[in-house]
Amino acid sequence: MENFIYENATKLIFGKDTETKTGEETKQIGKKVLLHYGGGSIKKSGLYDRITKSLTDAGVEYLELGGVKPNPLISLVREGVELCRSEEVDAILAVGGGSVIDSAKAIAAAVYYDGDAWDFFTGKTSYEQSLPIGVVLTIPAAGSETSGGTVVTNQDGDYKKAFGHGGLRPKFAIMNPELTYTLPDYQTACGITDMTSHIFERYFTNSTHVEVTDRLCEGTLRTIMNQAPKVLNESHNYDARAEIMYAGTIAHNDSLGVGRIGCWATHGIEHEISGIYDIAHGAGLAIMFPAWMKYVYKHDVKRFAQFANRVFDVEIDLDDLEKTALQGIAKLEAFFVSIGMPTRLSEVEIDDKHFEEMARKATENGPIGNFVKLEKDDVFRIYELAQ
């Protein structure tokens, strides 16, 4: 187990009707907030009205910035920064999924920075302070509600980049599983894929003696895979929605990853795809994770065999651990197919045209990944495996 520091103060308010507490909670972090959201779905569902009423009842002043896109854009972040400055906003309330929360985080940090918000993502500047953020979560997926990370897209060059700091963890996250009833199946499945990926990125590690976090990862994965068909078959199944929603949070709040060095290569590999093509991040991950696994599993066959056995009940063949490992990867692919995810680039009509460019961009700051260090050629071959 590696030495670690863990600190996560996000207050979770989980369960039915909890969005009625939005005003009360927001009041603890600010008097004048930027209400940040995506498209019209929160207005259609009535959530917008319940939240603005709750804010007003609590005496919290608010102004609005909607329009966050699924891959949130730096252009809107810049707009948000200007708005927060000119209106002297002292907190941000993000109502939505990971994109809205990520956009809010980028605004929150950039408000205190003289240069351009994109500088945080290129490493030109680093975190110093930020506006406090509150969240009403509507899409269980990114785990952004308790993480310190944010991913933003810069259309100028088709870049999608991540940046993170503990100070960006939201102060509170209101999580009502009922708010996820109306998600389209495809979006639900993309979210499920995203949360499994967050666990894989922690699970596949070279750190040794990590039994307790291995088992926490495995138990959470089993739960997600067991509950996934339930939420897809019965959109209003509260209990299954609740399991998925909480699993999505712990998948990314680091509690499953303490004491181990994770490997974020696949997220990076995927970001290059959704940075260029109009494809959901989760769908991209369902395609790229099996490909990455096939490329790297020989690096630690025992770990992949353990994964196959403990997550998918594949019997361990001690005389052929490779077979066991590959059966696990096959089971994972079958799971993604079962929830309606693509598992090949060809299914989403992406050909090899940009493989070279994407592989170059993914590795432009040097090799990526910790489990196996991947150079540009490795990334290229992983794209090929995903064809």
Instruction: Kindly tell me which residue out of 127, 246, 261, 321 binds a second copy, with binding defined by CB under 8 A.
Output: 246
The residue among 114, 147, 146, 143 whose CA lies nearest residue 128 is 114
The residue among 254, 131, 114, 240 whose CA lies nearest residue 178 is 240
Instruction: Kindly tell me which residue out of 58, 83, 258, 276 binds a second copy, with binding defined by CB under 8 A.
Output: 258
Instruction: Kindly tell me which residue out of 46, 59, 88, 211 binds a second copy, with binding defined by CB under 8 A.
Output: 211
- Span of 11-19, 27-35, 72-80, 278-286 interacting with a second copy by CB under 8 A: 11-19
Instruction: Assess contact for 151 and 187: CB atoms under 8 A.
Output: no
Query: Any idea which residue has 């100028």 for tokens?
Result: 156
20 near a second copy, rule: CB under 8 A: no
259 near a second copy, rule: CB under 8 A: yes
311 near a second copy, rule: CB under 8 A: no
14 near a second copy, rule: CB under 8 A: yes
How far is Cα 336 from Cα 341, in angstroms, rounded to an integer? 5
DSSP secondary structure string for all residues of 133-183 = EEEEE---SS-TTT-SEEEEEETTTTEEEEEE-GGGS-SEEEE-GGGGTTS
**Between 153 and 213, whose beta carbon lies closer to a second copy?**
213
How many residues bind a second copy, per CB under 8 A? 40
15 near a second copy, rule: CB under 8 A: yes
Q: What is the dihedral of CA 21, 24, 29, 35, to 10 degrees?
A: 60
Q: Which residues pair with 162 in a beta bridge?
A: 151
Token pair of 189 as six digits: 């499945």
How far is Cα 276 from Cα 159, in angstroms, rounded to an integer? 8
The residue among 275, 104, 290, 278 whose CA lies nearest residue 196 is 290
155 near a second copy, rule: CB under 8 A: no
- Span of 2-10, 36-44, 299-307, 352-360 interacting with a second copy by CB under 8 A: 2-10
The residue among 123, 118, 126 whose CA lies nearest residue 159 is 118
365 near a second copy, rule: CB under 8 A: no
Instruction: Quote the least distance from Cβ 229 to a second copy, whole Å.
Output: 13
| Footprint (CB under 8 A) of a second copy, residues 217-236 | 218-220, 222-223, 226-227
Residue 298: CB atoms within 10 Å? 11
Instruction: Quote the least distance from Cβ 356 to a second copy, whole Å.
Output: 42
Token pair of 91 as six digits: 């907190």
Token pair of 187 as six digits: 């979006």
Instruction: Kindly tell me which residue out of 51, 247, 269, 314 binds a second copy, with binding defined by CB under 8 A.
Output: 247
**Between 187 and 223, whose beta carbon lies closer to a second copy?**
223
**Between 20 and 75, whose beta carbon lies closer to a second copy?**
20
Instruction: Assess contact for 98 and 146: CB atoms under 8 A.
Output: no
Instruction: Quote the least distance from Cβ 16 to a second copy, whole Å.
Output: 6
Instruction: Quote the least distance from Cβ 278 to a second copy, whole Å.
Output: 33
- Find the largest Cα–Cα distance for the chain: 67
86 near a second copy, rule: CB under 8 A: no
13 near a second copy, rule: CB under 8 A: yes
Q: What are phi and psi of 116, to 5 degrees?
A: -85, 140
302 near a second copy, rule: CB under 8 A: no
168 near a second copy, rule: CB under 8 A: no
Instruction: Assess contact for 375 and 363: CB atoms under 8 A.
Output: yes
Instruction: Quote the least distance from Cβ 241 to a second copy, whole Å.
Output: 10
Instruction: Kindly tell me which residue out of 47, 68, 190, 240 binds a second copy, with binding defined by CB under 8 A.
Output: 240
182 near a second copy, rule: CB under 8 A: no
Q: Which residues pair with 367 in a beta bridge?
A: none
Instruction: Quote the least distance from Cβ 225 to a second copy, whole Å.
Output: 11
Task: Tell me the CB-side half-sphere exposure of residue 26, using CA atoms within 13 A.
Answer: 33
Instruction: Kindly tell me which residue out of 57, 128, 212, 337 binds a second copy, with binding defined by CB under 8 A.
Output: 212
**Between 315 and 351, whose beta carbon lies closer to a second copy?**
315
Instruction: Quote the least distance from Cβ 230 to a second copy, whole Å.
Output: 10
Residues that bind a second copy (CB under 8 A): 1-16, 18, 208-209, 211-212, 215-216, 218-220, 222-223, 226-227, 239-240, 242-243, 246-247, 250, 255, 258-259
